[in-house]
Structure 1
Amino acid sequence: MRALLPLSLGLFAVSFAAAPARAADAFGVWRHPDNGSLVRTYECGGGLCAKVIKVRDPSRKDVHNPNPDLRSRSIEGIVIMNGARKTDANTWEGQLYNTRDGKTYSGVITLKSPQKLELEGCVLGGLFCKGVTWTRVR
């Protein structure tokens, strides 16, 4: 029993030390609060990418896309963020595509907590911004 104590304390220390790295992990599956769609964030080219993996209405199309050839594609499968660059411990900056209006915005993505990812898209050099907070699903 006495021999197990150092092992137990060692395992506890290792798990405690690993917790901050896990908390800073923005990769996973997130739920949009307004429409319930699911988005997977993942590493791509050294940056952060995001793809819509599930929407409530799978027949929904990218009708507002500025490219007429893409307006008939499904919202599911669209990459809405491609290669956002890490600018701070829990912050990335990049371009965010909004399927609701077909526009691409300069964006800041911030991991607020292990369960909350905040996205803020801006126009006119940051003069007008709008944000949303996604909740982690897994």
Structure 2
Amino acid sequence: MHACVAFLTSAVLFLSQAGGTPPPVSVWRNPSNSVHIRAAPCGAGVMCATVIWANDKAKADARRGGTETLIGTQLFRNFKATGRNQWKGEVFVPDLNHTFGGTVTPIDDDHLLGKGCTLFGTVCKEQIWTRIRQ
């Protein structure tokens, strides 16, 4: 369940600027540094993010849920600006083989607050993600 929540709240991770224009390609890590994603535009005003690195535990959790290859899996899909400082979209949770809703709110250029919810918004978790400078 821990990995499930980590992936679900990963929806938080990847948008670094407010407004409706997607930011340029960027790389983010979750708080436990077990998953890195590359966020990039994937349509007009839309952002998506793909796993580019994961530790062995994250890979094993994904396999147990039915996702054989975590690296290359698009976890974050169709994130769009819903206000000046928030984005909303879908996140695929590999260890549950299910897609949920999530939001991302930029804190500053290098940190994002992500929130993912299940059960019609009754069970939520928040995490702060950090940009990986390259």
Displacement of 1:102 in angstroms is 3.0
Sequence identity (%):
29
> What displacement does 1:98 show?
2.1
Output the aligned Cα RMSD: 2.5
Check the 8 A contact 1:116/1:135 in 2, yes or no: yes
Contact 2:67 2:94 in 1 (8 A): no
Supply the AA of the counterpart residue of 2:49.
A
Distance 2:114 2:95 in 1: 15
Q: Which amino acid aligns with 2:27?
A: V
- One-letter amino acid of the structure 1 residue matched with residue 110 of structure 2: Q
Counterparts of residues 13-32 of structure 1 (less than 5 Å): 24=18, 25=23, 27-32=25-30
Relative distance call for 1:122 and 1:59 in structure 2 (3 A) is closer
Query: How many equivalent pairs are there?
Result: 112
Match of 1:82?
Answer: 77
Partner of residue 54, structure 1? 53
Output the CA distance in 2 between the equivalents of 1:83 and 1:109: 12
SS of aligned partner of 1:50: strand
Question: Which ranges of 4 or more aligned residues in structure 1 deviate by more than 4 Å?
Answer: none
Note the C-alpha offset of 1:72. 5.3
**Displacement, 1:96?**
1.0
Q: 1:92 to 1:56 in 2, by over 3 A?
A: same
Contact 1:58 1:75 in 2 (8 A): no
- Give 2:97's match in structure 1, choosing from 91, 102, 105: 102
- Cα displacement (A) at 1:42: 0.9
- CA shift in 2, pair 1:102/1:89, >3 Å: same
In 2, distance between residues paired with 1:127 and 1:119?
Answer: 16
TM-aligned CA deviation for residue 45 of structure 1: 1.4
TM-score (structure 2 length as normaliser) = 0.70
After TM superposition, the score normalised by the length of structure 1 is: 0.68
2:32 is aligned to 34
Deviation digits for residues 18-70 of structure 1, max 9, x if unmatched? xxxx85447410011124321111111121111110012299253254xxxxx
* Structure 2 unaligned blocks of 5 or more: 1-15
Q: Which has the larger radius of gyration?
A: 1
